[in-house]
C-alpha cells in the first residue's frame, strides 16, 4: 500500500530521469537526443577549423534538462551528452572522466545522506541509464566498445544501441546485432538486459522484457525534421530510393526504446540504480575508507561507519513514521468522503 501511495504521488508530481549518451563522434547522439525530446535540446556541433584539428580537446560532459509530458505524466528528463569520446589517441582519460562523473553523483548522495540536517534544495543527479552508441560497421565490437561497456557497467545500466542503423540493410542489421550480442556474452559484459524471472514475474512482464531483450542492441535512426509523403506527415529521413520513418517499428527500434526508457522501464532502471549499483558503490566506498585508516584510526573509523549506519537507520524509521501518518490521513479522508457520499445519497432519496 505504501508503495502504491508513493506511485500515485509520483504520477501526479511527475518523474525525474537521467540518461547519458556515449559514443564515437558523428554517430548521431545529438540528433538522437533531439529526436527523443522532439525539441532542439542540444545545439548542433560547430565545425572545427582545419588548422585547429591537431589540438585534442578531450571529452566534455554536458547535462541538458527538459520537461516532457508523456500522456499526461510529467517527466523531468536530463540527458547527459559526452562529445569528444573516442576522439583522442589514448582513451584512458575518457573512461576516467565518465566514471568520475558517475561516481561523483553517488558521492553527492552519500554525503547528503550522512548529513544531520538535509538540504531541501539537494538534487539527486544520479544517472539511471547509459546508451552506448555502436558504429554501424557491420563487423563486430571494437576494443574501445568492449572496454567502455565493461568498465562502466558496474556503475550504470548500460544499454547498447546501433547509431545510424539505416546505413545497413535489414539482413545486415540482423547479422550485426547477433554478432554484437555474442561479443557481449563472450566478454561477459553485464549490460542491462531487461531482466525477468519466469517463475516470479507475471506473464505480461516476461513477454515484454523478452521482446525488448531480443531487440538488443537497439537499432536507432534519428531525424529532427518532418517529411510529407502521400499527404502523410512524419519524422523521417528521405533518400532518392525511399524514406525511413523514425517512429515506425518496422524501420527501427527507436519507438520501442523510447517507450521503455520513459515509460515501462523508467522505474526499474531507477530502482536498479538505487538498490543495486549505488548500494554496491556505497559499500565499497565505506569499507575502503575503513580499510585505509585501519592501522591508526580503525576504532574511530568503525565508530564513524556505525554512526552513519545508525543515522541512516534513524532516517529510515522517520520515513516509515511519515508513511504511516500519511496512510492514516488518507484513511480519514476516505472515511469523510464516504460519509459525505452517504449524506448525498440520503438527500437524493428524500428529494
Ligand atoms: N543516416 C543517418 N544519419 C544520421 C542519423 N542520425 C544523425 N545523422 C546524421 O549524422 C551527422 C552527425 O549527427 P550528430 O547527431 O551531430 O552526431 P553526434 O554523435 O552528436 O556527433 P558529435 O557531437 O560531433 O560527436 C549529421 O549529419 C546527422 O544528420 C541516422 O540515424 N542516420
Ligand atoms: Mg553531438
Q: Clarify whether residues 183 and 205 are in a common domain.
A: yes
Q: How far is the CA of 278 from the centre of ligand 2 (A)?
A: 29
What pLDDT, on a 0 to 100 scale, did the predictor assign at position 5?
44
Last residue of a domain, one of 292, 319, 340: 292
Give the alpha-carbon dihedral of 314, 319, 320, 321, to 10 degrees. Answer: 90
3-class secondary structure, 18? strand
282 and 324 both lie in a single domain = no
Per-residue confidence at 297, pLDDT binned at 50, 70, 90?
low
195 CA to centre of ligand 2 in angstroms: 31
Which set of grid coordinates corresponds to residue 87?
576522439
172 & 64 share domain: yes
> Which protein residues have their CB within 5 A of the ion that is ligand 2?
30, 45
DSSP state of 309: H
> Same domain, yes or no, for 259 and 343?
no
Q: Distance, CA 85 to ligand 1 centroid (Å)?
A: 14
Pocket perturbation via mutation, ligand 1, pick of 28, 42, 47 by most ligand atoms within 8 A of CB: 28
284 and 342 assigned to the same domain: no
Distance 285 CA to ligand 1 centre (A): 38
In a domain, residue 8? The reply is no
**Of the candidates 140, 165, 167, which has an alpha carbon nearest to the alpha carbon of residue 256?**
165
Whether 22 is in the pocket of ligand 1, judged by its Cβ within 6 Å, is no
Count, residues in the chain: 351
Is the same domain home to 288 and 338?
A: no
Model confidence at 299, pLDDT cuts 50, 70, 90, reads low
Please check whether residues 189 and 251 belong to one and the same domain: yes
Q: Are residue 21 and residue 116 in the same domain, yes or no?
A: yes
Angle 279-292/92-113 helices, nearest 10 degrees?
90
Please classify residue 71 by burial: count the beta carbons closer than 10 Å to its beta carbon, then call 0-12 exposed, 13-18 middle and 19+ buried: exposed
Is there a domain that residue 131 lies in? yes
For residue 118, the 8-state DSSP code is -
pLDDT category of residue 50 using cuts at 50, 70 and 90: low
DSSP 8-state symbol, 139:
S
Q: What is the predicted pLDDT for the residue at 63?
A: 94
User: Are 350 and 256 in the same domain?
Assistant: no
Q: What percent of the chain has pLDDT over 70?
A: 90
Instruction: Judge whether 216 and 225 are in contact, CB under 8 Å.
Output: no
**Residue-level pLDDT at 227:** 93
What domain range includes position 237? 14-48+55-292
CA distance 21 to 101: 13
Atom of ligand 1 nearest to the CA of 85: 25
CATH of the domain at 171: 3.40.50.300
The domain tally of the chain equals 2
Amino acid at each position: 500500500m505504501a508503495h502504491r501511495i508513493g506511485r500515485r504521488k509520483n504520477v501526479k508530481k511527475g518523474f525525474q530521469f537521467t540518461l547519458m549518451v556515449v559514443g564515437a563522434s558523428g554517430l548521431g547522439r545529438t540528433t538522437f537526443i533531439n529526436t527523443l525530446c522532439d525539441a532542439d535540446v542540444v545545439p548542433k556541433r560547430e565545425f572545427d577549423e582545419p588548422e585547429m584539428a591537431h589540438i585534442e580537446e578531450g571529452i566534455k560532459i554536458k547535462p541538458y534538462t527538459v520537461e516532457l509530458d508523456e500522456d499526461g505524466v510529467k517527466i523531468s528528463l536530463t540527458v547527459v551528452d559526452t562529445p569528444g569520446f573516442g576522439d583522442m589517441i589514448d582513451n584512458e582519460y575518457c573512461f576516467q572522466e565518465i566514471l568520475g562523473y558517475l561516481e561523483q553523483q553517488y558521492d553527492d548522495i552519500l554525503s547528503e545522506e550522512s548529513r544531520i540536517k538535509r538540504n531541501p534544495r539537494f538534487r539527486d543527479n544520479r544517472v539511471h541509464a547509459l546508451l552506448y552508441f555502436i558504429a554501424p560497421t557491420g563487423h563486430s565490437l571494437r576494443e574501445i566498445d568492449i572496454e567502455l561497456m565493461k568498465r562502466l557497467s558496474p556503475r550504470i545500466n548500460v544499454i547498447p544501441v546501433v547509431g545510424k542503423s539505416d546505413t545497413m540493410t535489414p539482413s545486415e542489421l540482423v547479422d550485426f546485432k547477433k554478432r554484437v550480442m555474442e561479443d557481449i556474452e563472450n566478454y561477459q559484459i553485464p549490460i542491462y538486459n531487461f531482466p525477468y524471472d519466469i517463475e516470479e514475474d507475471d506473464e505480461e512482464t516476461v513477454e515484454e522484457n523478452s521482446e525488448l531483450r531480443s531487440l538488443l542492441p537497439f537499432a536507432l535512426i534519428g531525424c529532427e525534421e518532418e517529411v510529407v509523403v502521400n499527404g502523410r506527415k512524419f519524422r523521417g529521413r528521405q533518400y532518392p530510393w525511399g524514406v525511413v520513418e523514425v517512429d515506425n517499428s518496422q524501420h527501427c527500434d527507436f519507438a520501442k526504446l523510447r517507450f521503455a526508457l520513459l515509460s515501462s522501464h523508467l522505474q526499474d532502471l531507477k530502482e536498479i540504480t538505487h538498490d543495486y549499483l549505488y548500494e554496491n558503490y556505497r559499500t565499497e566506498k565505506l569499507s575502503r575508507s575503513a580499510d585505509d585508516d585501519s592501522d591508526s584510526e580503525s576504532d574511530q573509523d568503525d565508530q564513524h561507519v556505525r554512526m552513519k549506519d545508525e543515522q541512516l537507520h534513524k532516517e529510515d524509521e522517520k520515513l516509515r513514521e511519515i508513511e504511516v501518518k500519511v496512510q492514516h490521513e488518507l484513511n480519514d479522508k476516505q472515511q469523510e468522503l464516504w460519509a459525505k457520499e452517504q449524506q448525498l445519497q440520503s438527500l437524493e432519496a428524500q428529494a
